[in-house]
Structures are given as structure tokens and as C-alpha cells.
Amino acid sequence: MSAYFTCHQSELSSHRHLSNCFPPTVFCRMAEAPMSCDCFVSLPPGSRDDHVIFGKNADRPRDEVQEVVHYPAASHPPGSTLECTYIQIPQIEQTHAVVLSKPAWMWGAEMGANDQGVCIGNEAVWTREPITPGEALLGMDLVRLGLERGDSAWAALKVITGLLEQHGQGGQCREDPEPFSYHNTFLLVDRNEAWVLETAGRLWVAQKVTDGVKNISNQLTISTEISAEHSELRSAAQAQGWWDGEGEFNFSQVFYPERPPARMELAKQRYKGGTELLQEHDGSVTAEVMMSILRDKLSGICMDSGGFCTTGSMVSILPRDNSLPCIHFFTATPDPSRSIFKPFIFSNCSTPVLRVVSPEFGPDDPVRRQPRFQSQVDRRHDLYKAHEVALHTMETNPVGSDGQPRTVQN
């Protein structure tokens, strides 16, 4: 299977040790695996080379299709508006080029990168702040907005927090009429640093990471090491009686829900497993190592549990040397242990491959019609369909004509 977009071979060859982007054959499943996503970053000296390495698995409803789409940089008329998944907001005059791995039904994205060397991924989280009813910006909308408008991880964080404070977050987070909403945590990464951003309604707190390895899952991980915060964060916690205003302020303790959802409790295992895998490779993390972590089934990071599974995966190499291009790898198919990570490089000649883009349904899309989600449409793109066929062949005929086990590599 060819790469998603055309790119220069000389650019790819400037990065070493990219030959192991293909998965081993893995058949085991993890029973009772928690339902969550995972984001990872390695910064030197955690990385083997002078690269920042980003990785994310998107764990979503099993039948949800994730597409990989590229949007070029664009200019917009002053005063124009932007239609996100559910609401409209003012558009800015200039947006960056982005490549996104996104659920095909929504405007926003689970993860992606821009042409400024910024990567962002998000995770679901629940806090003491109640989920506000009604429609607002999804966390996935904020991922895309941060990438389109931010030229660094910090700039993207300011974009997200500004929009969060102005428009709030909320709305149905899956293509189904049964209510399912959450708040969000984000991992924002560029060539020099990373930021963990954790939110509770319109409130937020952030932690800067400048070296080593870090992962996030469906957990509040920021305790007392706070680098930036909402101006009313502590006063709001004090007004609710969650903090007495004295002593050290520990965000994760103050805002952790009294009755956390089961998925948030179960995700503690995955968060711990991800931390252990990163620490095991601390000082030697490469793109291949990050892919192997995303393919790890024993930890539950490569997830297959009930109605949820890993529906898409991403790994990015962000060299500290600005003369070298960033390389972003996407699967566009479920289960990274049975998928190939395919490369994308921003260039003036990037050409989208429609095989990884889902069909559009315009105003008749069940997401746009009111009431929403009253019917289903077939959002499968060509690569997704080919992956399904390959999986069926492997499962019904596990041994090929040469007597060797079949493998799926799409």
C-alpha cells in the first residue's frame, strides 16, 4: 500500500531507521480492557536521536471510521464564520495547513499535525465540574482549531484555552443518539517542548514538559507542578468547597470526581502500563519504539474491548533541527498491530489520496439533520474496506497457500 501523499524520497531518507514501520502478527486480545485513549511524547534525552517523538491511539466506538485528511493553508475574508461540528465561531484570516486523523462524521479531529511542526491529541476526562448540557465545541474541534491557528505548542494551547473560555465544551461525542459527553485533556507538542493541558468545563490547567518521556490517558495527571492556569481556577474551586484556599493547590486531587466513571477508573491500568513502557525505553525512544508501544496489547494500549477499539493511530517525528522535515505516520485503519503506519510530509506538492477520505453526505448527513443521529450512513473509505476484507480473509483462512500464517498489513 502506497503512502497517503506524495513526498520526496530524499526527505524520507534524511531520517534513519524507518524500516520497521510494519507490524508483527498479533492475535491475542486483552479481556476486560479499559476504554480510553493514550497519548505519548518523548523529548531528548528520552529519545535516542535529537528528535521529539509523538504518538497517539484513538480508541473509539468499534464501527466508527477514521479518515486521514489534508487541508492546505488558507486565507479567509475578514468577519467570516467557521462551522465546527455543532456550532459556528468567528474564523481567523489565516489558517495553517493541517493533516488530521478524524472520525469521519465530525468536523474536528482525534489527532493531527500542522505545517509549523505542531502535533496535538486529546483524551476524554471527567471531573467535579458537571458536563454542561447542550452543544458547544467538542474536544476534537479544539484539537483541529489549535492546529489550524497555532504555530507552536504554546500558541496552540492559548488558542484552545481562549476558545474554551469563550465557547465552552460539550455536545454528543459519538455518532449515536444515546448521550455521551466528556471534558478533555490534551497533549500539545512541537520541535522543542510539550504541554499537557487538562480541562474542567471552561477551567483549565497546564504543565510544561521540556525533556524526557510523558504520557496521558483518561486521567487528571497535573498535581502541584502547574505552569499555567485559568485565572479563576483556584477561586472557583474554593467557592465550591473543593479547596480551603490554604496550602498547596493540587489540581488532580481537587478536581477528581467523587464518583468517577468506570472507564476512568479502569484507564488507570493503561496509564500505568503506558508509563512503564515509556520508562523502559527512556533514552532510546524512536518512531519504531513508539509504534511498538501503540501496538502493545498486553497493556491494553492497543485496545479491543466490547464496543470500543483502537480505530486509528499516529506517530510523528519532530527533529530539533529545523532544516529537517517532520514526518507524520497514520494508519487510517483500526488496530495498529494489524496496520501499517504510512508517512506524510508537508510540502508544496502534497497530493491527497482519496482512498483514505470518507464520502460526504452534505445537508442530508444524519449529523446535520435535526434531531441528530437518527440514522446511519456508510462512511467507510476504500482503505477501510480493504482492511475489512483482509481481516476476514485472515480470520477465515489463517494459513496461506505457502503454509505460513496470513498477516494483515494495510
Catalytic positions: 37
Using CA atoms, how far residue 34 sits from 258, 262, 352, in Å, is 19, 8, 35
Q: Is 106 helix (H, G, I), strand (E, B) or coil?
A: coil
98 — phi, psi (to 5°)?
Answer: -135, 155
Beta bridge partner(s), residue 47: 285
Instruction: Give the span between the Cα atoms of 71 and 69, in whole angstroms.
Output: 7
Q: What cell does 330 get?
A: 497514520
Beta bridge partner(s), residue 208: 195
Beta bridge partner(s), residue 58: 312
Instruction: Give the span between the Cα atoms of 355 and 386, in whole angstroms.
Output: 10
Of 194, 182, 190, 263, nearest to 222 (Cα)? Answer: 194
Q: Is 307 helix (H, G, I), strand (E, B) or coil?
A: coil
* Alpha helices, H only, 132-220: 139-149, 153-167
Q: What cell does 76 get?
A: 479567509
Contact indicator for 214, 164 with CB cutoff of 8 Å: no
What's 116's DSSP letter?
T
Residues in the chain: 410
Instruction: Give the span between the Cα atoms of 180 and 176, in whole angstroms.
Output: 8
